[in-house]
Chain A
Amino acid sequence: MNAKSNQNDRLWMYATMVKSRHFEACIKPAYFEGKTPVFNMAKGPLPGEMHLSDGQEPCAVGVCAHLRADDTVTATHRPHHVAIAKGVDLDAMTAEIFGKATGLSGGRGGHMHLFDAKVNFACSGIIAQGLGPAVGAALAAKMRGEDSVAIAYLGDGAANQGAFHEALNLAAVWNAPVVFVIEDNAYGISVAKKDCTAVARNADRAAAYAMPGHFVAGNDPDAVHAVAGEAIARARRGEGPSLIEIETCRLEGHFMGDAEGYRPPGEVDRLKALDPIPRYRERLLAEGFDAADLDAAEAESQRQVDAAFTAARAAALPDPSEVYDHVFA
């Protein structure tokens, strides 16, 4: 990639991180509507569990900057940042989360089950279960002789699930063009990674499956971009799978309403001081980006999100009788 397009990617990464963060910022008050003063997950326009991605944006943008619509991404129960970076239709995604008829699946799936076939995006609420399908999508591309790739996102906790190990072995055996991306936010719900993972670095597990394993420190979009660029290019060249472990952080609770009693005191404040988005803005400014360009990108990101929320709220709920549609094709 030449320097100029790299600079375009950097502006895009910044704008997309801002878009994702603003998206979550709009979810928050909407989620608590109807849930105050007494919190009840069943109430309000956004019922159910809600897993926010604040803090994890570099994992989404650093990887997805290299992707095309025909590349596949499978994401997790915490999917918003990745969906936005992959180019999932923002209006339809927002409407889906509000359970509206105009949503990606007409309200059937909701926040943990976002599917957008136009950009080959899917996610699942079952831990590590996106990995097998990513290997399959990668194998499909390979068998067709296409150079598209598949990315499977997972959390640090998911690396202890059997499906992770099966999928990595399979990808290596089949030399499938797939990149496994671990968002290491140090927790699976309340359980600290260090208390439930036999290795300090999940990237080291790549060695067991004869594929390159990369650890990216510092929750840094540029560093993710560099490492992911190499792994994805390698996969496109037919040289096989890679594993990337990204050190990131979860700035919010596991899900909204989480009391977070399992965190050491002061942890969230320490993490917030290292918020990757303002840090990235400072870096871009220091490296010569124009503040006006960043401001304009920021404003445009926010405008798109605001418009998506306005449209989603105004949209109609699905006709209940349509619940029977699509059980079978």
Chain B
Amino acid sequence: MSSPEAPTRKLTIARAMSEAIGQEMAADSAVMVMGEDIAKLGGVFGTTTGLLEKFGPERVRDTPISETGFIGAAVGLAGAGFRPVVELMFVDFFGVCMDAIYNLAAKQSYFSGGQVTCPMVLMTSVGGGYGDAGQHSQCLYATFGHLPGMKVVMPSNAHDAKGLMLAAIRDPNPVIFMFHKALQGMGWLGTVKRSITHVPDGDYTVPLDRAQIAREGRDLTIVSLGLGVHHALDAAETLAKSGIEAEVIDLVSIAPLDRATVRQSVGRTGRLLVVDDDYLSYGVGAEVIASVCEDGAISLKATPRRIAHPDVPIPFSPAMEHHVLPSAGKVLEAAQAMLEPAL
């Protein structure tokens, strides 16, 4: 019963997230939201805008600054049949509450032999580039992706944000829903325009475990996620001007990792470049490259490469921060170097 919808209805990721949560709260009385500044303020990153007004303080709860307490409470609520959506304002704050996440939420199903599930969503902001330094700018994809028992996803655009959020809330497992600050569409932070997309106003889901081909190409596969997808697409557009067609894969999901989609693409292109803005070592790039190498049947035309944040805390000074963060320019440079013999 959706109203006739303009195909151009474009939303930010923030709006798409809050719309998805609101629609699921309307459809399912077990869905509730908790976190710091998520009620009256509507979330520091706009993820819960309008929900308090619609659903009231019983189901939309501002919490004290007590992450261990309220994320632990979400585990208990999930075990008791609720579907809590909780916000950890910045992923960097996981240090004060990780036990509730990886020892409780992620192990509830396993250690109960499947008796108790943990259908909760933990949404959390990631990413730097705006001078907030290393306690407010990290990504930590690998930290979360490494731990079994929870799904970890991140949209690169608003369409996927809504569909992923609906899928995440309905999933019987804990889902870490990361959103990148450079794509969020907040008035006070710059936003990559390409992330603001058409969002259907009805109900739809985007699978939590599928990578997507964001751009097709035959010469090189660039694998990324979140903001990195946009760096890759920017680089691909430049490469196209000299006749090189890069395929861009948006992982969407960090865990589980859709290895098949990556392998299929690299099998065609023979070249693999992985881009992400987490710390380099033991990261997404390492895992994706290993997945391709382990396949055995893929013949590579160039040594795989990865671009990530080097293994230093994210510095404050913009002069340093922009030096270490991945960018479209760095992706382009690496891609060109990999294609050199072909050029």
Contact = CB atoms under 8 A, between A and B. Distances in A.
A276 interface: no
B66 interface: yes
B63 to A, nearest CB: 7
Contact of B135 (A106, A112, A191): A112
Given A113-B133, A189-B44, A323 B188 contact: no
B320 A262 contact: no
Given A41-B131, A113-B133, A318 B96 contact: no
Given A42-B131, A112-B135, A323 B187 contact: no
Contact of A47 (B40, B64, B130): B130
A39 B133 contact: no
B41 A262 contact: yes
B65 A257 contact: no
A323 B324 contact: yes
Interface string B177-208: 00000000001111000000000000000000
A206 B97 CA distance: 24
Interface in A81-117: 99-100, 103, 106-113
Given A42-B190, A126-B93, A190 B131 contact: no
Contacts of A196: 62-65
Interface in A232-288: 257, 261-262
A24 interface: no
A44 B217 CA distance: 38
A144 to B, nearest CB: 29
B92 A126 contact: yes
Interface in B88-107: 92-93, 95-96
Contact of A125 (B36, B62, B133, B315): B133
A11 to B, nearest CB: 35
A158 interface: yes
Contacts of A158: 65
Contact of B319 (A107, A126, A161, A189): A107
Interface residues on A, range: 35 or more
B25 to A, nearest CB: 21
B132 interface: yes
B336 interface: no
Given A40-B190, A196-B64, A109 B133 contact: yes
B93 A161 contact: no
A124 B316 contact: no
Nearest to B97: A162
A25 to B, nearest CB: 21
A207 interface: no
A320 B36 CA distance: 35
B96 A49 contact: no
Given A158-B65, A162-B96, A189-B44, A41 B188 contact: yes
B189 A48 contact: no
A188 interface: yes
A227 interface: no
A322 B323 CA distance: 10
Nearest to A319: B319
B188 A257 contact: yes
B330 interface: no
A77 B319 CA distance: 22
A320 B65 contact: no
Interface stretch (B165-173, B260-268, B281-289, B305-313): B305-313
B37 interface: yes
Interface string B105-137: 000000000000000000000000111111110
A119 interface: no
A162 B131 contact: no
Contact of A126 (B68, B96, B310, B322): B96
B113 to A, nearest CB: 30
Interface of B: 36-37, 40-41, 44, 62-69, 92-93, 95-96, 129-136, 187-190, 310-313, 315-320, 322-324
9 residue pairs, one from A and one from B, having the closest CB atoms: A47-B131, A110-B316, A107-B317, A99-B317, A48-B131, A320-B323, A42-B130, A160-B64, A196-B64
29 contacts: A40-B188, A40-B190, A41-B132, A41-B189, A42-B129, A42-B130, A42-B131, A42-B189, A47-B130, A47-B318, A48-B136, A108-B320, A109-B316, A110-B131, A112-B136, A126-B96, A127-B96, A162-B66, A189-B44, A191-B36, A191-B40, A191-B64, A196-B62, A196-B65, A261-B41, A320-B324, A323-B310, A323-B315, A327-B312
